Amino acid sequence: MKKFLWSLLEVGETVVIAVVAVFVVRTFIAQPFLVSGASMEQNFHDRDYLLVDELTYRIRPPERGEVVVFKWPGDHKSYYIKRIIGLPGERVVVDDGKVKVTDVEGILRTLDESYLATSFSGHTEATLGAHQYFVMGDNRSFSYDSRNWGPVDRSEIVGLVRVRLWPLNQAMAFHPPRY
């Protein structure tokens, strides 16, 4: 009987450690995310299963070109996936398929977005505050993003997309483009 109780205690201890480990990982390190919609196509597709790194942005700020998951500013219960285009303090001008960014030093650059599959049209201008980011979907003609509802605050960004886990034949790690 004593051996049975000892074995039961060990199983209980293992279960508690596993539950605590999963809680810590999902709360502070990484969590899964399921893509819904076509706003990030050609690079991410509907029903792609991604792993989102929640730790990196505790160490450093988000960078241009990184794909992030964030709480939609209109409803914090909804999560979106978009690419960071503009950083805090910058001015972003989107005009007929070209994105121009004036950084905090006043240097103007047109982003080379060769990762986009199609061109897009329209005009938007935004000057970002100290903790704001301008985000856009990769499928610009079909993306609901900062052009529609404005910048995303740093506090709304959940994490950085690191890996596609599903579908298995497209599993891969992601790296931001160099502008």
97: left (phi over 0), alpha (psi -120 to 50) or beta: left
The predicted-structure confidence for 70-86, as pLDDT tens digits, reads as follows 988 878 788 888 999 99
Which is it for the CA torsion 106, 110, 114, 116, positive or negative?
A: positive
CATH for 2-173, options being 1.10.3720.10, 2.10.109.10, 1.20.1730.10, 1.20.1440.230: 2.10.109.10
N- to C-terminal Cα separation, the chain? 68
Pairing of strands 157-166, 172-173: antiparallel
Which is it for the CA torsion 127, 124, 113, 78, positive or negative?
A: positive
Is position 71 annotated as part of the catalytic site?
no
Is the preceding omega at residue 167 within 30 degrees of 0, hence cis? yes
Which of 2, 7, 36, 39 is labelled catalytic? 39
Q: Which amino acid is at 166?
A: W
Q: What is the pLDDT along the chain (179 residues), one digit of tens a residue?
A: 777 667 776 766 666 565 555 555 555 555 777 677 767 777 887 888 888 888 888 889 999 989 998 988 878 788 888 999 999 999 999 888 888 888 888 888 888 877 777 777 778 888 998 999 999 988 887 888 888 888 999 999 989 988 787 776 776 667 777 76
Is position 121 annotated as part of the catalytic site?
no
Asked if 144 and 122 touch (Cβ cutoff 8 Å), the reply is no
Which of 77, 78, 82, 143 is labelled catalytic? 82
Domain borders along the chain are: 2-173
> For position 144, what pLDDT does the model report?
86
The predicted-structure confidence for 91-109, as pLDDT tens digits, reads as follows 999 888 888 888 888 888 8
pTM for the full model? 0.77
Is the preceding omega at residue 42 within 30 degrees of 0, hence cis? yes
